[in-house]
C-alpha cells in the first residue's frame, strides 16, 4: 500500500486523458491525520517547472495536507498560463478537501512545453475525480498514475517501532543528482515536527537519491516530499527515524535504477580510500558519466582503462599509479597496472559492481548508475513524437 501504509493517509489514481494510452495519469495523496507536517527537497536545476516553484512555497511553512501529481505533461516553460494552471490545480483540490490551497503540493511529470487549455482542463477534471476516489488502500493506484516511461509502479514500506514510513516513486530517465531525482512521495504516521522531517529527509536524500546518476541529466521537475500524520502517537528517536527514511529512500532509489530506460546493467560504483566523501562522490560520478565506460559495460567489456581515464579528469587527490580497480570482485588493475586478464571477469549478469580504491584516505561513497544502450538512445530520440 506504500503511501497509505501509514495511518491517516488516503490516496487515489485516476484516468484524466493526459496519456494517449488511456492509463491512469493523475494521483492524489491526502493526510487526514492530527498533524500536517511536511518537508520537501527539490531539483537544484535553475530551470524549474511551475509546480516546483509553487511547491517550494507550500512546504516553506512546514505544513501541507495533500500532494496532487499528474503524468503526461511537465507543465514547465509554459509561461504565466502554466503557473496559473498549477495554482488552479491546488485550489481545485483544496476546495474539494476544505483546506487552503497553500497546503497542497503540486507535482507534474512528462514532456516539457505541454500546457495548453486542454492540458489544464484534463488536470483539473482529473484532480476532482481523484478526490472522489480517495481510499485508505489507494497507494498502488497512485503509484501507477505517476508513471511515465516506467515499466512498473515503485513502492516501499519500512516498519518502525509502532510507526511506519511508506513511499512511492516514478522515474526511468533524466536521473541525475540535484537534491532529488524524480517524483517521490513519502508518508509516515510518526509524530514528527516539520523541522525534524526536513533534517531526516535531507540526510536520507544525500546518500540515496543524490547518489543515483543514471544518465547525468537533471530534470526540471524533481521533487521528494515527506508528510507526517502523527496518527501513531509515537515520536521516534531522531536517529531511528532518519535510518528508516534513509532505508525507504534507498529502496526506492534502487527500484528506479533497476527500471532505467533500456539499461542492461545496474551498476554500483563503490569508491574507497578517498581523502573526503565529497571527493569520493566526485570520482564515482566521473565514472557514471563516462559514456565510453558505460558503452563498454553494455558490451560486457571490463575496460578498466576507461575507469582510470575518467577519474583522471577530477580534482580529487590521489596518485593514478596507486589505484586498484575491480569488476564484480575481480581485481583487474593494481597500482595503475594490469593485475590479471580481463577474461577472468564475467560481465554477463545484470548486476555489476565496480570497486575503486584510491589509496589516498579514509572516505568512501557509492554511486548507482546504468550502462548506455541502444534502447536508451532509441527511447529518448523519439520521446516527444
Catalytic residue numbers read 181
Phi, psi of 291 (to 5 degrees): -60, -35
Rounded CA-CA distance 39/41 in Å is 7
Rounded CA-CA distance 290/306 in Å is 8
The CB density around residue 175, as the number of other CB atoms within 10 Å, is: 27
Rounded CA-CA distance 18/127 in Å is 12
The CB density around residue 214, as the number of other CB atoms within 10 Å, is: 28
Q: What is the CA radius of gyration of the chain?
A: 21
Rounded CA-CA distance 257/261 in Å is 9
Rounded CA-CA distance 145/71 in Å is 7
Contacting residues for 313 by C-beta, under 8 A, at least 6 apart: 286
Rounded CA-CA distance 279/315 in Å is 8
Contacting residues for 376 by C-beta, under 8 A, at least 6 apart: 173, 215, 260, 261, 262, 263, 370
Rounded CA-CA distance 252/166 in Å is 10
Amino acid at each position: 500500500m506504500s503511501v497509505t501504509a501509514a495511518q491517516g493517509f488516503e490516496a487515489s489514481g485516476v484516468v484524466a486523458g493526459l496519456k494517449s494510452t488511456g492509463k491512469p495519469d493523475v494521483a492524489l495523496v491526502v493526510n487526514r491525520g492530527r498533524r500536517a507536517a511536511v518537508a520537501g527537497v527539490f531539483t537544484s536545476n535553475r530551470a524549474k517547472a511551475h509546480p516546483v516553484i509553487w511547491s517550494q512555497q507550500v512546504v516553506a511553512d512546514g505544513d501541507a495536507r495533500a500532494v496532487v501529481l499528474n503524468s503526461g505533461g511537465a507543465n514547465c516553460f509554459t509561461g504565466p498560463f502554466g503557473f496559473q494552471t498549477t495554482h488552479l490545480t491546488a485550489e481545485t483540490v483544496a476546495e474539494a478537501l476544505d483546506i487552503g490551497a497553500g497546503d497542497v503540493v503540486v507535482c507534474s511529470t512528462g514532456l516539457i512545453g505541454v500546457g495548453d487549455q486542454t492540458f489544464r482542463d484534463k488536470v483539473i477534471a482529473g484532480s476532482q475525480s481523484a478526490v472522489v476516489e480517495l481510499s485508505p488502500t489507494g497507494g498502488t493506484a497512485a503509484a501507477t498514475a505517476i508513471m511515465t516511461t516506467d515499466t512498473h509502479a515503485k513502492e516501499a514500506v519500512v516498519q518502525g517501532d509502532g510507526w511506519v514510513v511508506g513511499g512511492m516513486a516514478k522515474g526511468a530517465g533524466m536521473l541525475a543528482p540535484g537534491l532529488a531525482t524524480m517524483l517521490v512521495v513519502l508518508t509516515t504516521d510518526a509524530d514528527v515536527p516539520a523541522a525534524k522531517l526536513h533534517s531526516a529527509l535531507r540526510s536520507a536524500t544525500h546518500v540515496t537519491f543524490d547518489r543515483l546518476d543514471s544518465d547525468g541529466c537533471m530534470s526540471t521537475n524533481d521533487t521528494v516530499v515527506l508528510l507526517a500524520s502523527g496518527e501513531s502517537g509515537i515520536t521516534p528517536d531522531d536517529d531511528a527515524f532518519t535510518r528508516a527514511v534513509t532505508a525507504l529512500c534507498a529502496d526506492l532509489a534502487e527500484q528506479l535504477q533497476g527500471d532505467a530506460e533500456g539499461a542492461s546493467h545496474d551498476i554500483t560504483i563503490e569508491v574507497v580510500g578517498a581523502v573526503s566523501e565529497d571527493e569520493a562522490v566526485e570520482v564515482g560520478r566521473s565514472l557514471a558519466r563516462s559514456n565510453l565506460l558505460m558503452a563498454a559495460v553494455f558490451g560486457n567489456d571490463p575496460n578498466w582503462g576507461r575507469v582510470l581515464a575518467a577519474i583522471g579528469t577530477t580534482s580529487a587527490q590521489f596518485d593514478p599509479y596507486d589505484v586498484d580497480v575491480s569488476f564484480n570482485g575481480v581485481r583487474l588493475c593494481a597500482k595503475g597496472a594490469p593485475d590479471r586478464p580481463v577474461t577472468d571477469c564475467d560481465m554477463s549478469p545484470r548486476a555489476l559492481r565496480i570497486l575503486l580504491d584510491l589509496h589516498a584516505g579514509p572516505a568512501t561513497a557509492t554511486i548507482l548508475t546504468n550502462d548506455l544502450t541502444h534502447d536508451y538512445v532509441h527511447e529518448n530520440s523519439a520521446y516527444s513524437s
